[in-house]
Amino acid sequence: MSGNEKIAVLHAACHPVTGPWSVMRDLANAQAVSGRYAAVGIAVMVDSTWPEDYREEIKNTPLSFYESALPQMFGTAAFLYQRLRPPPWREWIRDFAGRSGAKRVIVHLHNAWMSGVFLPLPRVDDIHVEVVVTFHGVNEHFEGKPVRRTLHRWMAGRLLKFGARLTSVDRMNTELAERILAVRSDAFTVIPNGVRPVEMLPKSQSADPLVIGHVGSMIPQKGWQLVAQAAELLNRDAVRVRVMLAGRGPDEAAANHWAAEHADWAEFAGFVENPRERVMPRMDVLCLMSQWEGFPMAIVEAMSVGLPVIATDVGGVAEAVADGETGLLVPRTAEALAAALSSLLNDRSRLAVMGERARTRFDELFTMDRIVERYALVYDELFK
pLDDT reported for residue 18: 79
Mark out the alpha helices in 295-367 (DSSP H runs): 297-304, 334-345, 348-365
Say whether both 163 and 223 belong to one domain.
Answer: no
**58 shares a domain with 184:** yes
The identity of residue 172, as a single letter, is M
Rounded CA separation 149/136 (Å): 19
Q: pTM for the full model?
A: 0.86
Asked whether residue 234 is assigned to any structural domain, the reply reads yes
Same domain, 100 and 216: no
Would 200 be classed as within a structural domain?
Answer: no
| Positions of the chain with pLDDT under 50 | 1-4
> What is the C-alpha to C-alpha distance for residues 332 and 297, in angstroms, rounded to an integer?
19
Same domain, 13 and 109: yes
On whether residue 152 sits in a domain, the answer given is yes
- What CA–CA distance (Å, rounded) separates 65 from 174? 30
Residues 372 and 359 in one domain: no
Residue 132 located in a structural domain: yes
Strands 266-270 and 188-190: unpaired
Span between the terminal Cα atoms of the chain, in Å: 12
Whether residue 217 sits in one domain with residue 85: no
Cα dihedral across residues 145, 168, 93, 124: positive or negative: negative
pLDDT score for 4: 45
Q: Are residues 321 and 223 in the same domain?
A: yes
What pLDDT sits at residue 3? Answer: 41
Domain containing residue 67: 3-194+367-382
Pair 115, 262 in one domain: no
Say whether both 103 and 153 belong to one domain.
yes
Q: Residue 199 domain-assigned?
A: no
Domain annotation covers residue 203: no
- Whether 153 maps to a domain, the answer reads yes
Which of the 8 DSSP states describes residue 118? G
325-331 long-range contacts (CB < 8 A, ≥24 apart) are 325/354, 325/357, 325/361, 326/354, 326/357, 326/358, 326/361, 327/285, 327/354, 327/358, 330/289
Predicted pLDDT of residue 201: 64
- Both 145 and 19 in a single domain? yes
Residues 32 and 123 in one domain: yes
Q: Reduced to 3 states, what is the DSSP secondary structure of residue 64? A: strand
- Same-domain pairing of 171 and 314: no
In a domain, 332, yes or no: yes
- Contact by Cβ (8 Å): 209, 241: yes
CATH at residue 109: 3.40.50.2000
Q: Give the number of domains in the chain.
A: 2
Q: How many CB atoms lie within 10 A of CB 274?
A: 10
